[in-house]
Amino acid sequence: MLNTYIYADLTPEKMADLLDRNTDPNHAIQDTVLSIIEDVQQHGDAALKSYAKQFDKVELEKLYLDSDDIDNLAMTISRDQMRALEIAFQNIHKFHQTQLKRERTVETMPGVKCWREVRPIEKVGLYIPGGSAVLPSTLLMLGVPARIAGCKEIVVCSPPQNNGKINGFVAYCLKLLKIDKIYLVGGAQAVAAMAFGTQSIPKVNKIFGPGNQFVTKAKGIIQGMTDVSIDMPAGPSEVLVIADETANPAYVAADLLAQAEHGIDSQAVLVTTSSQLADQVNQELKAQLDVLPRKELAAKAIENSYTVVTDNIQEAMDFSNRYAPEHLIIESDDWKPLINKVQNAGSVFLGHLTPESAGDYASGTNHTLPTSGYARSYSGVSVDSFVKKITFQHITEQGLDQIGSTIEILAELEGLQAHKNAVSIRKKKQ
């Protein structure tokens, strides 16, 4: 079960070790990913089909499914499943719709007006993982804000199933999003295909979506070698649960295991003010783990996770902010005063009845979030992620009279005479 550490006893070295989530210390993943990127650049579709055979164990005649394929697959799921996806779609749309707001025009001086306008990123690429777990929810989390933003072209890539297709849940989400094509490409090769373009897959302007270590590494590499940007580093999933003596150990264990079942490189951390609760959670972990279908996978993730016992809630918050978790759950009766103490987290779940699963699927917030400590500087995906904000300004004669001499003086002191002249010539023409 979870290894336990006492916060007061942690040395700086041990603290750094607990906070570190470096999953590629010897650069083995980077070397593999670089090789894949180069192969896709040089050989395009042929490389993608070769990787499908190697990694996905399928031979593909074509690299995409069209609208007829998607319609047929979408009809294979039950009405209850369709309804669940529809509710999730509606809640995600309702939450993200509020993020698209027009900013007001500011008159910084009389006759000098400045403002910003929103423009969608024209071509976006969405990566939908399909390894140990297929995630139609991720398609909704990325597709909904892309649609709200007004992106003209949405390119979706996801690994093929062993029958050379996608599952019906992903297909139904494509229909909800009015996307009529999906490319059967996974892993680092999908990132490379969207970054450079191939015979079948269009080049995009920005790539979104979580994935394994190879996908995350590929996103970082292509951002440094192309004009394509990425949403954020979003790799192996993680959760940190802050729990005091009021927490229910069964709930805490369930939340930890919900994260652990993502994959063996996921991490589930418990930070608690109660050593008794820590022991109870370990007992619950064992009992709940035994009945999970993915128990072997989750057990390995738990082995790489741990508990930190603190003397008080402030220490718990301090550790959490240093860890900067993707998901932060605060299981306490007294959670409201702790909101302002959260400095670094991707998404926060408050109280005993708010499992992280709610945000993963249907409450409305986005589940594509920064991992590995990147919550210190990155936000989760939102409508803002799919748009550019362009500044505009307009200066009247009055405005030029007001601001002109200031510009001339500043240009002159920087030694940029042409900058000064651009103002002076206009003043003379008035």
Produce one character per residue of 189-213: b if its CB has 16 or more CB atoms within 10 Å, e if not.
Answer: bbbbbbbbbbebbebbbbbbbbbbb
Beta-sheet pairing, 112-120 with 106-109: antiparallel
**Taking Cα atoms as reference points, which of 25, 35, 41 lies closest to residue 201?**
41
Q: What is the CA radius of gyration of the chain?
A: 25
Cβ neighbour number for residue 100 with a 10 Å cutoff: 17
Q: What residues contact residue 371 under an 8 Å CB cut-off, 6+ apart?
A: 21, 210, 233, 234, 235, 236, 237, 238, 326, 346
Tell me the C-alpha distance between 272 and 240, whole Å: 10
Tell me the C-alpha distance between 355 and 40, whole Å: 40
Burial of 424: CB neighbours in 10 Å, binned 0-12, 13-18, 19+? middle
Q: Which of 327, 331, 356, 367 is catalytic?
A: 327
> Which residue matches tokens 């779609």?
89
SS3 of residue 410 by DSSP: helix
**Taking Cα atoms as reference points, which of 306, 327, 321, 335 lies closest to residue 243?**
335
367 is catalytic: no
Tell me the C-alpha distance between 312 and 330, whole Å: 14
Beta-sheet pairing, 123-127 with 206-208: parallel
327 is catalytic: yes
Taking the C-alpha atoms of 328, 331, 332 and 338 in order, what is their torsion angle to the nearest 10 degrees?
A: 10
> Which residue matches tokens 């505009």?
392
Residue 53, both tokens: 């055979």
Q: Which of 238, 261, 284, 326 is catalytic?
A: 326
Active site residues: 326-327
